């Protein structure tokens, strides 16, 4: 009977609210979640609206409902909404309120994970780059400047979230405080300040924290529900949460991992559903609430990918695809994992609860090979530089993302070791316009032997932000570009010009008829479609760069893999003419590109 109440509350009462509809309630009770005063079980899945085209939000939410979920959880990335200090954006793909409305219309509750720190394989863990401009500021701490800035951000965010709370007739039932804080520090005062910030901003739904099992002692906040990540043994989950919640539940697994994310140059992660489906079944059978991370991963476009790095682990940036081997794939299709999880969920539902039918797989189209007939060398598109004695980081220059060109003249003749101290993260080195080296932070490369001719030479260093670290020890050591000195045979080189390429508007690039190129280059082509459909851009013959279609960032590519294709949603293609722009760093001679009807996410090249 108890299980019946769980699911009746969680499924039968989930209906879109209207002015005359019933006002629902949701509370963290003594041992159980209570929906309208009755015990309920949250069967949740994670999906991040920032990683999904707005045009696809309803489709992905409908897929979640068809899978059997009654709740979706989503991060809110601070840097996605405040890219420039004091300028907030909650429109278009950043419209979190609309995402919540659509979830409600699809019969789903929403859990908000509002930052200020997210991790999530997202650039800088969700922090804005401009925080790094503040001298000695410490993120994720009680640094007053940091707290004041995050409080202002949350006040702006709360204007979007407060009306979406269940207490206001919306679908938002809980908010998370911080994120896995126990893996970073153990400051309860800091956590308490965020609880107070939320409340002062008008958040009146219940709050929770989440941490890994060993991190919970440091990460939980007395008086707030402690949830656990990465643990799925029913007995152990109950014992752990009981320990930090006065001996009772509710029992909430805030992150259960059906797979994992990918990093450039590393093997694609796949976890067959048979390896965890019985455990998932046992969790549901025991009445525990659970959030699958990820139900649908989506795509990390533009420069929004993060990177991992530990004291002993090398720098490791993540791929554009956030497919995650999730039950709903990157394009929003049901996978065998989806069907297996749906079957398990259905087994635990009352017989009169019927899930929506699983939508058919989306149409894909094969687009004939395209010739990129126009080009524009990067060095022909130099903006106005600033002159500096020593190289500045991106942040000190005033730029968050993209590329930075550092240019100087070096006297010769001279042979010796050129060393770039604090290189972050990926650089092409040119001498009198000829590429002489590629330096990659992943491989701990920051120096090369050079030969300067008599009469001297022009030295160019083009540096890419490959993703700020999103987790761990180096979170506060995250400036980009050249963050130290440049020396030649131990002697510092001074007198530089810096050219910023934030890559915000490639439409401003001026193209001409294609010709042989020898350096980084923009290439442009057009193609005409009579019908649209999902497709996959094949970059396996290219080097490293970025792609835009019809002005939208499709993502990064890198020949090392494992990702060799970029997902292009049908909604971003036009019937009629379409434009593609590729910025290529390593293989400027490439002049054609093709599309596939399937993704390639598992091909690593050396």
How many Cβ atoms are within 10 Å of 330's Cβ, its own excluded?
Answer: 26
What CA–CA distances, in Å, run from 578 to 20, 265, 530, 545? 46, 31, 11, 20
Q: Under 8 Å CB-to-CB from 216, ≥6 apart: which residues?
A: 182, 226, 228, 240, 244
Phi-psi region of 232 (alpha: psi -120 to 50; beta: other; left: phi over 0): alpha
Q: By CB neighbour count within 10 A (0-12 exposed, 13-18 middle, 19+ buried), where does 589 fall?
A: exposed
180 annotated active-site: yes
- Of 298, 381, 302, 392, the closest CA to residue 83 belongs to 302
CA distance 336 to 256: 18
The gap from C-alpha 116 to its chain's centroid, in whole angstroms, comes to 14
CA distance 396 to 481: 10
State the catalytic residue, choosing from 180, 330, 395, 584: 180
Give me the phi and psi of 93, to 5 degrees please.
Answer: -75, -5
Q: Are 316 and 309 in contact (CB under 8 A)?
A: yes
Give me the phi and psi of 116, to 5 degrees please.
Answer: -70, -20
The two beta strands, 38-40 and 43-46, are unpaired
CA distance 560 to 543: 8
For every residue of 102-127, DSSP letters joined together read HHHHTT-EEEEE--S---TTBGGGG-
Give the sheet arrangement for strand 512-513, strand by strand: 512-513, 374-377, 521-529, 576-584, 544-549, 552-558
Instruction: Tell the residue number behind the tokens 């040119």, with chain if given.
Output: 430
State the catalytic residue, choosing from 98, 106, 255, 330: 255
What CA–CA distances, in Å, run from 358 to 43, 281, 321, 328, 361? 18, 20, 24, 11, 9
Angle, helix 144-161 to helix 188-200, in steps of 10 degrees: 40
Q: What does the block give as tokens for 506?
A: 């490639």
Q: Are 313 and 328 in contact (CB under 8 A)?
A: no
Q: Are 478 and 124 in contact (CB under 8 A)?
A: yes
Tell me which residues are annotated as active site: 180, 255
């Amino acid at each position: 009977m108890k299980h019946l109440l769980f699911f009746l509350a969680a499924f039968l009462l989930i209906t879109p609210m209207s002015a005359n509809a019933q006002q629902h309630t949701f509370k963290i009770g003594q041992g159980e979640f209570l929906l309208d005063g009755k015990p309920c079980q949250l069967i949740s899945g994670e999906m991040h609206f920032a990683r999904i085209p707005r045009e696809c939000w309803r489709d992905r939410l409908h897929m979640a409902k068809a899978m059997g979920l009654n709740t979706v959880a989503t991060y809110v990335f601070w840097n996605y909404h405040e890219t420039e200090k004091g300028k907030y954006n909650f429109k278009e793909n950043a419209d979190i309120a609309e995402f919540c409305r659509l979830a409600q219309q699809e019969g789903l509750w929403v859990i908000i994970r509002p930052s200020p720190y997210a991790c999530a394989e997202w650039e800088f863990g969700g922090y804005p780059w401009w925080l790094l401009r503040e001298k000695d500021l410490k993120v994720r701490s009680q640094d007053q400047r940091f707290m004041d800035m995050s409080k202002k951000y949350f006040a702006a965010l709360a204007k979007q979230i407060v009306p979406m709370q269940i207490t206001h007739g919306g679908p938002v039932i809980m908010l998370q405080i911080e994120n896995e804080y126990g893996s970073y520090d153990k400051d309860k005062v800091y956590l308490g300040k965020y609880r107070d910030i939320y409340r002062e901003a008008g958040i009146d739904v219940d709050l929770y924290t989440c941490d890994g099992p060993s991190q919970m002692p440091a990460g939980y906040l007395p008086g707030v529900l402690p949830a656990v990540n990465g643990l799925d043994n029913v007995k152990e989950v109950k014992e752990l949460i009981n320990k930090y919640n006065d001996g009772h539940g509710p029992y909430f697994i805030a992150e259960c991992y059906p797979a994992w994310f990918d990093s450039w140059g590393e093997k694609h992660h796949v976890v067959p559903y048979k390896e965890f489906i019985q455990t998932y079944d046992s969790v549901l059978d025991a009445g525990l609430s659970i959030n699958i991370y990820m139900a649908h991963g989506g795509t990390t476009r533009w420069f929004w990918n993060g990177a991992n790095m530990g004291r002993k682990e090398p720098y490791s940036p993540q791929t554009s695809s956030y497919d995650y081997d999730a039950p709903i794939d990157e394009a929003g299709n049901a996978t065998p994992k989806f069907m297996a999880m749906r079957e398990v969920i259905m087994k635990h539902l009352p017989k009169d609860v019927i899930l929506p039918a699983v939508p058919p797989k989306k149409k894909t189209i094969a687009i004939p090979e395209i010739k990129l007939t126009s080009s524009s060398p990067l060095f022909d598109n130099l903006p106005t530089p600033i002159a500096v004695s020593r190289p500045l980081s991106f942040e000190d220059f005033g730029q968050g993302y993209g590329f930075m060109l550092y240019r100087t003249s070096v006297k010769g003749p001279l042979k010796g070791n050129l060393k770039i101290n604090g290189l972050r993260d990926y650089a092409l080195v040119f001498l009198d316009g000829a590429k002489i080296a590629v330096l990659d932070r992943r491989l701990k490369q920051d120096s090369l032997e050079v030969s300067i001719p008599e009469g001297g030479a022009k030295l160019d260093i083009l540096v890419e932000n490959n993703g700020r670290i999103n987790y761990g020890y180096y979170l506060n050591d995250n400036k980009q570009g050249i963050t130290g000195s440049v020396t030649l045979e131990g002697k510092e080189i001074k007198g530089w010009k810096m050219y910023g390429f934030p890559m915000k508007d490639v439409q401003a690039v001026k193209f001409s008829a294609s010709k042989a190129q020898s350096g980084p280059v923009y290439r442009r082509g057009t193609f005409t479609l009579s019908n649209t459909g999902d497709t996959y851009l094949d970059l396996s013959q290219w080097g490293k760069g970025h792609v835009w279609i019809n002005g939208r960032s499709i993502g990064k590519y890198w020949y090392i893999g494992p990702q060799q294709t970029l997902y292009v949603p049908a909604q971003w293609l036009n019937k009629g003419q379409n434009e593609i722009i590729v910025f290529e760093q390593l293989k400027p001679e490439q002049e054609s590109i093709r599309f596939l009807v399937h993704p390639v996410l598992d091909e690593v090249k050396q």
